[in-house]
Chains A and B, each alone.
Chain A
Amino acid sequence: MKAYQIEIKLNGEWRKAEVTVRETLLDVLRDKLGAKEVKNGCGKGDCGTCAVILDGKAVNSCLTLALQANGKEITTLKGIGTEEKPHPLQKSFVEHGAIQCGFCTPGMIVSAKTLLDQNPKPSREEIREAISGNLCRCTGYKKIVDAIQETALEDKS
């Protein structure tokens, strides 16, 4: 299998990887760049657990070839906030009990972050729309919507 060299700016840092044509961005993020916070849920763009920010837009990394991400900026959950320096969204998720098993959470935060970047004061309906590509089997979604809404309300900027 022919291998190609790519470079992506992952959470602000340029990283190199050797990839094949069939590898998706998800494959490369998890297996070659150690970004395990990006989850492999369904592999076909239905669950949203693989969501990352590419060129400022939330996308399914399982539906992007690694080669298509060459030279691009990618932000994952860890580029949004970390344990040491959590993003208000992450703090809000914890406070609202919006994390049960946690599998959907990274993708949810990615979708929520891009929503708030575009629409700082979304309605509940707009929040639900923004996360309509992120499936959660545990929480019944209410706590997640509450968490996102509270973050939006608290943001003074």
Chain B
Amino acid sequence: MKNHTINLTVNGEEHEILVEPNALLVNVLRDELGLTGTKYGCGTGQCAACTVLVNGESVLSCLTLAVAVDGADIVSIEGVARPDGTLDPVQEAFLDHSAIQCGFCTPAMVMMGRDLLNKNRDPSEPEIREHIKGNLCRCTGYTSIVRAIKSCAQKREPQTE
């Protein structure tokens, strides 16, 4: 197999990586770049624990070949908090609402929550449930996750003058 050199911008940092053609994005993030926040759950696109944003769109990284996203701008859970370490409001909300039990679904849930709020500042509960319907959680029963995301609705980003 001939290896490919690809360029990925991950959480604002540029990386040049040599990958095999069949390398999955989830494994490249975790094993090559050490970004283990993105989880390998089922490997078949059913649990969505591997969710990342690729060029602003939520994507199942276990069903994405790394070579297919050469040149892309990727955001993983490690890039959600502010550079100074301040948590994103969605992350804070998850803590406040006890929406984290084992924590395995949490990175992807937070990504999807952030993704939704980026597109829809004030989602309704049904809209939230629709948006995370691909993300499985075996612990919480989802209620606290939905409440956490809902609590971030209508929050405006601080205006910078």
A binds B: yes
Judging by beta carbons under 8 Å apart, are B144 and A143 in contact? Answer: yes
Judge if B143 is at the interface, Cβ distance under 8 Å. Answer: yes
Judging by beta carbons under 8 Å apart, are B141 and A100 in contact? Answer: yes
Distance to closest chain B CB from A90 (angstroms): 16
Judging by beta carbons under 8 Å apart, are A97 and B101 in contact? Answer: no
Q: Please name all residues of chain B whose beta carbon is closer than 8 Å to the beta carbon of A97 when the two chains form the complex.
A: 97-98, 140-141, 143-144, 147
Judging by beta carbons under 8 Å apart, are A138 and B98 in contact? Answer: no
Total chain A interface residues with beta-carbon distance under 8 A = 10
Total chain B interface residues with beta-carbon distance under 8 A = 10
Q: Please name all residues of chain B whose beta carbon is closer than 8 Å to the beta carbon of A100 when the two chains form the complex.
A: 140-141, 143
Judge if B139 is at the interface, Cβ distance under 8 Å. Answer: yes
Distance to closest chain B CB from A96 (angstroms): 7
Distance to closest chain B CB from A108 (angstroms): 15
Which interface residue of A97, A101, A143 has the most chain B CB atoms within 10 A?
A97
Q: Please name all residues of chain A whose beta carbon is closer than 8 Å to the beta carbon of B98 when the two chains form the complex.
A: 96-97, 140, 142-143, 146
Tell me which residues from 81 to 116 in chain B have a Cβ below 8 Å from any Cβ of chain A.
97-98, 101-102
Distance to closest chain A CB from B100 (angstroms): 9
Q: Please name all residues of chain A whose beta carbon is closer than 8 Å to the beta carbon of B101 when the two chains form the complex.
A: 139-140, 142
Contact code string B121-144 (vs A, CB < 8 Å = 1, else 0) = 000000000000000000111011
Q: Complex: how many Å from CA A140 to CA B97? A: 13
Judging by beta carbons under 8 Å apart, are B144 and A138 in contact? Answer: no
Q: Please name all residues of chain A whose beta carbon is closer than 8 Å to the beta carbon of B102 when the two chains form the complex.
A: 140
Contact code string A94-117 (vs B, CB < 8 Å = 1, else 0) = 001100110000000000000000
- Known contacts A97-B97, A146-B98: A138-B143 contact under CB 8 Å: no
Q: Complex: how many Å from CA A112 to CA B143? A: 22
Contacts A/B (CB < 8 Å), 25 sampled = A96-B98, A97-B97, A97-B98, A97-B140, A97-B141, A97-B143, A97-B144, A97-B147, A100-B140, A100-B141, A100-B143, A101-B141, A138-B139, A138-B141, A139-B101, A139-B140, A140-B98, A140-B101, A140-B102, A140-B139, A142-B98, A142-B101, A143-B98, A143-B144, A146-B98
Question: Measuring CB to CB, which residues of chain B are less than 8 angstroms from any residue of chain A?
Answer: 97-98, 101-102, 139-141, 143-144, 147
Given contacts A138-B141, A139-B101, A140-B101, 9 further A-B contacts (CB under 8 A): A96-B98, A97-B98, A97-B140, A97-B143, A97-B144, A97-B147, A100-B141, A138-B139, A140-B102
Question: Measuring CB to CB, which residues of chain A are less than 8 angstroms from any residue of chain B?
Answer: 96-97, 100-101, 138-140, 142-143, 146
The 5 closest A-B pairs by CB, nearest first: A100-B141, A140-B101, A97-B144, A97-B143, A143-B98
